[in-house]
Amino acid sequence: MMARCLKTEKHARTVFYGAMVSEAIIAMVWATVGMAFYKGGTPSLAAALANGGPNAIVYTSCTALMGIGGGLLAILGVIACPITTGDTAFRAARLMLAEILNLDQKKTVRRFYLAIPLFAAAIVMTFTDFGTLWRYFAWSNQVLGTVTLWSCSVYLYKYKSQHHWITTLPALFMTGVTSTFILTQPIGFNLNASTGNWLNLVWMVILLGVFLVWGTQHAARIPVLEIKKSE
């Protein structure tokens, strides 16, 4: 969604790096709150979650730090963030499906063709166990990052020669992480650790071979883009 709002590619680094840094700061703030208020570590935090859930933790920590007013603002933020995130996720999913299916979205009625099935799928998911659903989401999110790294490796091979290893090695590492997880966890194939690790090693070697043989050949056939420098 952010990429669609950029007026020029020059803004991409500031926007995306800025978003990552901001998100990291937010994560560190909440990690600090967790360590400051629940000194017993994970067991204390787990007990607090069991007794009142995330909302109770947010309310307790925010009112202690900022008073009633600040606590109410923080709770509103906690409520608003998932709502806006959900809106962005549905919109991004609809736009991606529209591009894949080559379905024009200028008319409102055409938007419903995709929005209604997406909402129906989301409603079905609300009846599943959130813990299981969250693990699938976390895994698929990392898989998306892994695929992006492999795509960047092909691009860098085309334009930067041996510099593609900057992304190829992280792509290989993330392939190992995501593959091992889905092979050995109950939400995946539930294999024992030894079997899962060996299968993952074979899979990593195969993918690296495919990239070095087919991926580089494919990159060589991609027309060179003529990037014009902005004045």
pLDDT of residue 2: 63
What does the angle CA 199 – CA 200 – CA 205 come to, to the nearest 5 degrees?
100
Q: What does the pLDDT look like over 120-168, one tens digit per residue?
A: 999 998 898 888 888 998 999 999 999 999 988 888 887 766 778 889 9
Please identify every stretch of the chain with a pLDDT value under 70, giving residue numbers as ranges: 1-4, 160-161, 216, 219-220, 222-231
pLDDT of residue 177: 94
pLDDT of residue 223: 67
What does the angle CA 127 – CA 89 – CA 183 come to, to the nearest 5 degrees?
60
pLDDT of residue 117: 94
DSSP string, 117-155: HHHHHHHHHTTS-HHHHHHHHHHHHHHHHHHHHHHHHHH
Phi-psi region of 68 (alpha: psi -120 to 50; beta: other; left: phi over 0): alpha
Residue with tokens 């693990």: 135
